[in-house]
Amino acid sequence: MAEMTVPLLDLKPQYQALRAELDEALLKVAAAQMFILGPAVRELEEQVAAYCGARYGIGMSSGTDALLAALMALDIGRGDEVITTTYTFFATGGTIARLGARPVFLDIEPDTFNLSVERVEEFLDRCVWDGDALRNPATGGRVRALMPVHLYGQSADLEPLLALARAHGLAVIEDAAQAIGAEYAPARRVGALGDIGCLSFFPTKNLGAFGDAGLCVTNDEALAGRLRQTRVHGMEPRYYHAFIGGNFRLDEIQAAVLLVKLRHLENWHAARQRNAVFYDRALAAAGLSGCVRTPVARPGRRHVYNQYVIRVPRRDELRQYLAGRGVGTEVYYPLPLHLQQCFADLGGRPGDCPEAERAARETLALPIWPELSEAQLRHVVTSISDFLARG
């Protein structure tokens, strides 16, 4: 018998299950021939904002563009600094730098992989107020905003981060690209807790489009207006531009797909959570707790498991072994942002963020998608167990 395969992600079962609804929604857009910022986009904006517990939703062309638009709407640019985590997908730091601002990459908490409140506090303690601005004395830059990331689907430690931001006059942009529906505390969903929350509907996220798509949520009416204007080159009224924006528009086809899928999102979160519990228990039952560290979900926080990330010794060997057993895995992320070549001019050095650097050597994401069968989950655990038993 051919051994089972467990891809890191397989989107086909989801499409098969919703095929009739999705095909109908796609054909409706084809019939209407209205492709950009149409009724489906407006409906999606309302529904996603309500889902997140925010007042306004502004559809964007991707999660990256949602971050870029958020920074632009807050007028962040040259001479400004934005505090964020070094352990994240590139877009978090890349958008800050593209606007000429300086990303301040700080280390993470080792158990949740999210931005460390202590490191943020330490950094802010070194900053000084000079009249109108909070300055980083090392660079002279104005510290303007804080951009926590809810990595892998778990909320960052938002309450203390929001308090620090408030005390220092910083805007808070939540990078919730991996975490739609995650909660910091019961009924307090990420994205709606800072000034602007940025979502991604890249196909691998818990709510995935048929291509690139994203969205900003906010409770601030003025910021919502500014984001809408930023999305269309800063234009208002037509062909008049008081500031520069971009083309960050969301396609009607993507919105139509997302409206169908949004109705199933809670079920998919629940299935991911069930899979996580299965792994937690099965890895412990196999006696692997000593060498495999399973994800830590903080009490009260709703983790939506966009990724199920373990820490293991000999990570790269295990990854190769699992590939041989038909199990797909991925390393999110092998190099923290402060060590990326493109950010060398910021002066980051090995040792600056030891926890992130250690995580980059030890983490491995296992398949966690909702439609995985129990046999597939079991095969992943058995394969890990076999690898470790070989010594």
Which CB atom, from 63 or from 181, has the smaller least distance to ligand PLP? Answer: 63
Q: Which amino acid is at 290?
A: G
Q: Is the CB of 88 or the CB of 136 nearer to ligand PLP? A: 88
For the CB of residue 150, give the shortest distance to ligand PLP in the complex, in Å. 8
> What φ, ψ does residue 367 adopt, rounded to 5°?
-60, 135
Residue type, 212: D
For 118, 147, 182, the CA distances from 161, given in Å and listed in that order, are 10, 10, 17
3-state secondary structure of 272: helix
Which pair of structure tokens corresponds to residue 172? 């808070």
- Retrieve residue 113's tokens: 């992989």
Q: Please, what is the minimum distance in Å from the beta carbon of residue 253 to ligand PLP? A: 16
In whole angstroms, how close is the CB of 175 to ligand PLP at the nearest point?
5
Q: Which is nearer to ligand PLP, 157 or 212 (CB)?
A: 212
Footprint of ligand PLP on this chain (CB under 6 A)? 62-64, 88-89, 91-92, 149, 175, 177-178, 200, 202, 212, 214
Kindly tell me which of 89 and 387 has the beta carbon lying closer to ligand PLP. 89
As measured in angstroms, the least distance from the Cβ of 291 to ligand PLP is 28
Whichever of 109 and 212 has its CB closer to ligand PLP, that residue is 212
Rg of the Cα atoms in the chain:
21
- Given the structure tokens 């925010």, which residue do they identify? 54
Sheet strands (E) in the chain: 56-60, 80-85, 102-106, 128-130, 133-135, 142-147, 171-175, 183-185, 188-189, 196-200, 214-218, 308-311, 363-366
Tokens coding 14: 């989801």
Smallest gap, in angstroms, from Cβ of residue 80 to ligand PLP? 19
How many Å apart are CA 78 and CA 257, to the nearest integer? 38
Minimum distance from CB of 125 to ligand PLP (Å)?
A: 27
Residue 292's nearest CA partner among 281, 303, 307, 301 is: 281
**Angle of CA points 352, 354, 360, to nearest 5°:** 115
Minimum distance, C-beta of residue 78 to ligand PLP, in the bound complex (Å): 22
Nearer to ligand PLP, 178 or 294 (CB): 178
- Closest residue to ligand PLP, judged by C-beta, is 63
| CB nearer to ligand PLP: pick between 88 and 383 | 88
Q: Which is nearer to ligand PLP, 88 or 230 (CB)?
A: 88
Spatial separation of the C-alpha atoms in residues 228 and 98, rounded to whole Å: 20
Residue 176: CB minimum distance to ligand PLP, A: 8
